[in-house]
């Protein structure tokens, strides 16, 4: 099969899956379709990733779709997150109750929106044209809105409306930035037909109008940054994450936010060409601000899902900061992306499952979780230890590399603020974790055997996180280095 | 056709002030559709190298969408949700008009800053685009009624449409269609959202949507 067909296949499989879900399937069959589609997605993404991470970019449809090392890396993480979340959805929705029924209609709605948003995210990652990338990003907003209000109660509708309005306006701003970018190419007298192709915009020799590129980057950063959840544009994020069903929250934090950050990063190489260090300065500023703001909120959280949502603001801030700190920082950012996506997905699965057992996400009531549910309690402990950067998990390694990058760039203030904020989060989150996992049980919960699918979600994820913290295989280092070279600042 | 462009500019700005000063939602929807149709004509008047089929098709699609489909959807929603007026905006109507005047002055200043870099774009339309975007944002944050917030979003869309039409000489048709489709779907999605919210809450005032905090 020609390499380009793999790209088409990756886009087509979730679309076909979504259409299949429209047919009258039973709820269990819908869940099986989502798992099957995600598994096929992982297989294709890994195949595609292996091609681009060791060689040249792959193109399809006359260069409309291009996958290079940077998008290949993101595609693999996306597919993995979707597979874990789909498996977990089978566990989560398999135990529906009267208050939250998973009826035929609800199942169909879930299948279509779930796989539709998978396809939209794939479209974002494979588009060479920044306009089509924008269309994909807007599509993710519209499709995922109804996943937040899946149970249609008051709070989830409120969260959905905030998400819809704030992110739509944010994405509209990103579009203004995209128009500015096209104008910056044309204003310099270069040809206009392919003004929006990032393969062209990233070319070092291209002259861009600096005034217009400045406006472009600011609008793009603020616009897509709203969806990333960068402070102070993050106000929708904790509401949406706390109200959505757990598999949806896991997918949001696990990859949707990264998709928006991916969009920003496609504008960084042209912005660097035209404006020098301006773009990196803004990335560092928003990254540090997000880490600080999130640290403040994490201390006072009482709801486990809101706590995890603020932790996502923190980690997306860390990744953004890494991208602004040169090649080593970019490497750390990408490694952190992998570690964070896996840890956060697992953490939301654990909190979601425990929440289902306890009937609440209140951290006081979740007390003694480890005693009630060995598997998910252990998953909670492992994933949160990983998230706060405890050794020897993967995130410890990526944060250590980020510190090295900051020291190497002699950004001492950034380094100090980062260390202080991460320490606050460490202490606060550890306190939350100890209360939840090891505290005295507040309510009686019946013991239940975990399903096989639960083990399939929790055990491999934990094992990978631990493994990556202990040993980073040479092929993975090389793959991340190649991906980092696409968007990393020159030495 | 500079005369026609000037007319669009003036009437378009007036629709913004009308939106700022009106409490009746039906009237707001009609002002929005007039504004949408007027600004849909901009690409026809600003193309230097003649009217191609593509420009014409784009304008026609826009007129149909913003002049007919959006107003029909919004009026239908208003009837279903049963609201007539914006009763208590966060910022009163007189203060809103004053904001409009200030925004106009700022838009003029910003357009003057930007114009040297975008010399081929008509100055009046550049200013109108910035003004529309600022008014749309203001409507979203200053009004309680969810339907007016959607109207605000569509005013921003109009501003972006004008901005795109005057600054980018040539974008691929696929991208333009995708953007129109997104606006179309966005209105439907927001419409369905308002429908659910009004059914659950009894009305679609977004100040009822304030339980989630911190």
∠ CA A222-B125-B4, rounded to 5°? 155
For A125-173, write each residue's pLDDT tens digit. 999 999 889 999 999 999 999 999 888 888 888 899 899 999 999 999 9
Question: What is the least distance, in Å, from the CA of A440 to any CA of chain B?
Answer: 27
Q: What one-character DSSP code corresponds to residue B69?
A: I
Nearest CA in chain B to A127: B175
Least reliable range by pLDDT among A84-88, A92-96, B148-152:
A92-96
For residues A399 and A336, is the Cβ–Cβ distance under 8 A? Answer: yes
> Rounded to whole angstroms, how far apart are CA atoms A150 and A152?
6
Query: Which of B181, B193, B200 is facing A164, going by the closest CB pair?
Result: B193
For residue A409 the two structure tokens come to 């760039």
Q: Give the H/E segment covering residue A246.
A: helix A246-251
Least reliable range by pLDDT among A86-100, A168-182, A397-411, B136-150:
A86-100
CB B175 to CB A196 under 8 A? yes
- Print burial letters for B94-117: b (CB count within 10 Å at least 16), e (below 16): eebeebbeebbeebbebbeebeeb
| Mean model confidence pLDDT for chain A | 91
C-alpha of B73 from chain center: 15
For A14-45, write each residue's pLDDT tens digit. 999 999 998 888 999 999 999 999 999 999 99
Q: Write down the pLDDT at residue A421.
A: 95
pLDDT at B175 over 70: no
Q: What one-character DSSP code corresponds to residue B48?
A: T
Nearest to A44 by CA among A70, A21, A78: A78
For residue A144 the two structure tokens come to 């995922």
Sorting pLDDT into bands at 50, 70 and 90, what band is A66?
very high
Q: Considering just the CA atoms, what is the radius of gyration of chain B in Å?
A: 17
For B105-157, write each residue's pLDDT tens digit. 999 999 998 888 888 888 999 999 999 999 999 999 998 888 899 999 999 98
Nearest to A263 by CA among A227, A309, A290: A227
For residue A20 the two structure tokens come to 């299949």
pLDDT at A192 over 60: no
Q: Please check whether residue A207 touches B, CB under 8 A.
A: no
For B17-38, write each residue's pLDDT tens digit. 999 999 899 999 999 999 999 9
Q: What one-character DSSP code corresponds to residue B68?
A: I
Longest dimension (CA), chain B: 55
Which A residues in the span 97-156 are in contact with B, Cβ-Cβ below 8 Å?
A: 129, 131-132, 134-135, 138-139, 142, 145-146, 149, 152-155
Nearest CA in chain A to B187: A142
Query: Which of B163, B201, B206 is facing A154, going by the closest CB pair?
Result: B201
Query: Which residues in chain B have their CB less than 8 angstroms from residue A163's CB?
Result: none
C-alpha of A455 from chain center: 23
Q: Which of A63, A64, A120, A135 to substitute to test the interface with B, most B CBs within 10 Å?
A: A135
Q: Is the peptide bond before A232 cis (omega within 30 degrees of 0)?
A: yes
Contacts of B50 (CB under 8 A, 6+ apart): none
Give bridge partners of residue A303 from the DSSP assignment.
Answer: A362
For residue B37 the two structure tokens come to 């149709």
DSSP string, A74-118: HHHHHHHHHHHHHHHHHHHHHT--SSS---HHHHHHHHHHHHHHH
CB B214 to CB A300 under 8 A? yes
For residue B40 the two structure tokens come to 């849909």
Query: Which residues in chain A have their CB less than 8 angstroms from residue B197's CB?
Result: 157-158, 161
Q: Where do the domains of chain A lie?
A: 1-128, 145-275, 277-491
For residue B39 the two structure tokens come to 């600004």
Q: Write down the pLDDT at residue B191.
A: 80
- How far the first Cα of chain B sits from its last, in Å, is 54
CB A161 to CB B171 under 8 A? no
Nearest to B97 by CA among B43, B33, B18: B18
Strand, coil or helix: B205: strand
Count of A-B CB contacts under 8 Å: 127
Contacts of B44 (CB under 8 A, 6+ apart): B51, B55, B56, B59
> Rounded to whole angstroms, how far apart are CA atoms A481 and A488?
9
> Rounded to whole angstroms, how far apart are CA atoms A235 and B141?
14
Alpha helix stretches (DSSP H) within B22-170: 25-40, 42-46, 53-63, 70-81, 93-114, 123-142, 146-167
Nearest to A3 by CA among A45, A60, A46: A60
Q: How far is CA B206 from CA A142, A232, A326, in A?
A: 19, 21, 43
pLDDT above 90 covers what percent of chain B? 37
> Rounded to whole angstroms, how far apart are CA atoms A354 and A448?
12
Give bridge partners of residue A362 from the DSSP assignment.
Answer: A303
For residue A166 the two structure tokens come to 């704030």
Residue B113's φ and ψ, nearest 5 degrees, are -65, -45
Mean pLDDT across the stretch A371-390?
92
Strand, coil or helix: A55: coil
Sorting pLDDT into bands at 50, 70 and 90, what band is A441?
confident
Q: Write down the pLDDT at residue A188.
A: 61
Nearest to A365 by CA among A374, A373, A354, A376: A354
Q: Write down the pLDDT at residue B46.
A: 79
Sorting pLDDT into bands at 50, 70 and 90, what band is B174?
low
Residue written as token pair 């600004």: B39
For residues A14 and A66, is the Cβ–Cβ distance under 8 A? Answer: no
Beta carbons within 10 angstroms of residue B3's beta carbon: 8
Nearest to B39 by CA among B14, B74, B72, B75: B14
Q: Write down the pLDDT at residue A190.
A: 56
For A172-185, write each residue's pLDDT tens digit. 999 999 989 988 88
Q: Where do the domains of chain B lie?
A: 2-208
For A342-365, write each residue's pLDDT tens digit. 999 999 999 999 998 888 899 988
For residue B163 the two structure tokens come to 């901005």
Q: Write down the pLDDT at residue A403.
A: 95
């Amino acid at each position: 099969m020609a390499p380009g067909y793999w790209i088409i296949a990756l886009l087509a499989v979730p679309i076909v899956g979504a259409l299949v879900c429209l047919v009258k399937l039973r709820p269990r069959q819908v869940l099986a379709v989502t798992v099957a589609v995600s598994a096929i997605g992982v297989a294709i993404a890994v195949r595609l990733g292996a091609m681009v991470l060791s060689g040249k970019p792959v193109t399809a449809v006359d260069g409309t779709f291009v996958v290079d090392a940077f998008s290949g890396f993101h595609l693999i993480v996306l597919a993995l997150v979707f597979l874990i979340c789909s498996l977990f959805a089978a566990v989560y929705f398999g135990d529906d109750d009267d208050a939250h029924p998973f009826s035929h209609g609800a199942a169909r709605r879930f299948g279509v929106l779930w796989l539709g948003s998978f396809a939209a995210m794939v479209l974002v990652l494979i588009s060479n044209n920044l306009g089509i990338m924008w269309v994909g990003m807007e599509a993710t907003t519209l499709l995922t809105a109804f996943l937040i209000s899946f149970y249609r109660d008051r709070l989830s509708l409120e969260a959905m409306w905030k998400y819809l309005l704030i992110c739509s306006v944010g994405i509209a701003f990103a579009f203004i930035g995209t128009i500015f970018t096209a104008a910056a190419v044309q204003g310099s007298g270069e040809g206009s037909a392919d003004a929006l192709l990032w393969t062209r915009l990233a070319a070092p020799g291209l002259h861009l109008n600096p005034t217009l590129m400045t406006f472009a980057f600011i609008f793009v950063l603020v616009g897509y940054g709203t969806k990333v959840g960068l402070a102070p544009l993050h106000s929708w994020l904790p509401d949406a994450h706390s109200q959505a069903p757990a598999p949806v929250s896991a997918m949001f934090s696990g990859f949707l936010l990264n998709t928006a950050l991916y969009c920003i990063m496609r504008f960084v190489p042209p912005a660097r060409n035209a404006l020098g260090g301006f773009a990196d300065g803004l990335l560092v500023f928003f990254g540090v601000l997000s880490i600080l703001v999130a640290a403040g909120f994490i201390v006072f959280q009482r709801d486990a899902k809101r706590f995890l949502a603020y932790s996502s603001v923190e980690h997306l801030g860390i990744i953004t900061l890494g991208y602004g700190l040169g090649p080593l920082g970019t490497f750390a950012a990408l490694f952190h992306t992998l570690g964070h996506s896996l840890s956060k997905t697992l953490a939301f699965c654990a909190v979601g499952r425990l929440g289902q057992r306890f009937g609440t996400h209140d951290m006081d009531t979740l007390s003694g979780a480890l005693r009630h549910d060995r598997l998910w309690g252990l998953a909670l402990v492992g994933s949160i230890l990983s998230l706060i950067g405890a050794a020897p998990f993967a995130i410890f390694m990526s944060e250590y590399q980020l510190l090295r990058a900051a020291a190497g760039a002699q950004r001492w203030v950034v380094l100090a603020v980062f260390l202080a904020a991460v320490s606050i989060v460490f202490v606060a989150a550890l306190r939350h974790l100890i209360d939840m996992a090891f505290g005295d049980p507040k309510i009686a919960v019946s013991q239940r055997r975990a399903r096989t699918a639960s083990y399939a979600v929790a055990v491999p994820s934990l094992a990978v996180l631990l493994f990556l913290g202990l040993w980073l295989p040479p092929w993975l280092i090389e793959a991340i280095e190649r991906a980092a070279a696409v968007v990393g600042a020159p030495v | 056709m500079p005369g026609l462009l000037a007319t669009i500019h003036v009437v378009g700005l007036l629709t913004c002030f009308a939106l700022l000063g009106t409490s009746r939602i039906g009237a707001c929807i009609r002002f929005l559709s007039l504004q949408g149709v007027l600004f849909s004509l901009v690409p026809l008047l600003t193309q230097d190298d003649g009217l191609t089929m593509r420009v014409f098709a784009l304008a026609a699609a826009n007129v149909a969408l913003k002049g007919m489909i959006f107003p029909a959807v919004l009026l239908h929603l208003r009837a279903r949700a049963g609201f007539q007026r914006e009763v208590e905006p966060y910022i009163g109507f007189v203060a809103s008009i004053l904001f409009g005047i200030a925004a106009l002055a700022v838009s003029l200043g910003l357009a003057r800053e930007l114009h040297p870099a975008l010399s081929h774009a008509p100055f009046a339309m550049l200013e109108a685009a910035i003004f529309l975007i600022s008014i749309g944002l203001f409507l979203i944050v200053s009004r309680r009624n969810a339907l007016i917030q959607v109207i605000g979003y569509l005013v921003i869309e109009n501003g972006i449409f004008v901005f795109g039409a005057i600054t980018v000489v040539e974008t691929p048709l696929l991208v333009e269609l995708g953007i129109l489709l997104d606006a179309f779907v966005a209105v439907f999605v927001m419409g369905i959202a308002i429908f659910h919210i009004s059914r659950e809450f009894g009305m679609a005032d977004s100040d009822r949507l304030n339980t989630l905090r911190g």
